Amino acid sequence: MCAARPSWPGQERAVIVSGNARQEPDGHEPDVRFTLANERTFLAWSRTCLALIAAGLAITQLLPPFPGVSWGRSVIGTPLIVLGGTVSVLSYLEWQRYQRELRLGAPLTRSRLPVIIAGAIAAVAALAGAVELYSLAAR
Amino acid sequence: VTSQEPARQGGTAAEATLAGERTLLAWTRTIVAFCAIGVAVAKLRPLAGIPIVIFGAALWPVARPRTSSEAVAGSRARVRAVAAAITTVAVLSLLIVLAGRGSAGFHR
């Protein structure tokens, strides 16, 4: 199983894109279940994006301001909205890549989106903690 | 092998039907979330929020293909529409946050 894994990131992508896959995809139409599963995965990412944007809007618009830190809410909420928009584009690119790999019958390259989103959410959480501590100190 | 063939095909057809149903439910959840965020934006900026709700409602018939071949053929267009719409919502939200500290927000 280890042999099927690419030895460096993007290796399989490079091989696949080297064909005329971008204009007229090679391979054959995969089983409809795979197409539907890929679509559901994309939709799950879309909902995650919408949740991030909603959280960003709620923090900036609905949350009471941090005492002594007028910019606190924007600093926490704006990255969440930017993250939501960025992930929606990335999840479309992932959908496109999976669909191409399914057509070619190639092994699916592991997505990097989970690492990106986990890191970004951890960073925003750390930022929120820092703003809260700063607000306590400024009080 | 021959005797198992019809059962296997029947299983595959049933799996495809159920997969289609799960996909429709996934679309439903996404559209509900999309309309919910549209209502939230409408509360802050009605001119920006109402089109989001209308677009979300318009996605519903698009998300409901009649046949499996229709589902496969239209997949790219549907996925593109959603990705573009969410990116637009993110940009609108960013503009709301940056332009004026929520004149209609609950807290100034």
Residue A52: closest C-alpha in chain B: B90
Q: Is the pLDDT of residue A13 over 90?
A: no
Q: With a threshold of 0.90, does the pTM exceed it?
A: no
d(CA A20, CA A17): 7
B26: phi then psi, degrees, rounded to nearest 5? -65, -40
What is the per-residue burial (b if ≥16 Cβ within 10 Å, else e) of B29-54?
A: ebbebbbbbbebbbebbeebbeebbe
Q: Does B73 touch chain A (CB under 8 A)?
A: no
Strands (E), chain B: none
What pLDDT does residue B10 have? Answer: 57
The pLDDT value given to residue B11? 66
A22 in contact with B, Cβ within 8 Å: no
Question: Which pLDDT belongs to residue A12?
Answer: 44
Give the ipTM of the model, two decimals please: 0.81
* Nearest C-alpha in B relative to A88: B83
Where do we find the tokens 């989103």?
A117
pLDDT at B17 over 90: no
CA-nearest residue to B31 within chain A is: A47
Of A33, A53, A89, the CB nearest to B19: A33
Examine the pLDDT at A128 and tell me if it is beyond 80. yes
The two structure tokens encoding residue B98: 């940056």
| Confidence grade of residue B6 (pLDDT, cut at 50, 70, 90) | very low
Q: pLDDT value at position A19?
A: 42
Mean per-residue pLDDT, A115-139: 94
- pLDDT tens, position by position, B19-53: 888 999 999 999 999 999 999 999 889 998 999 99
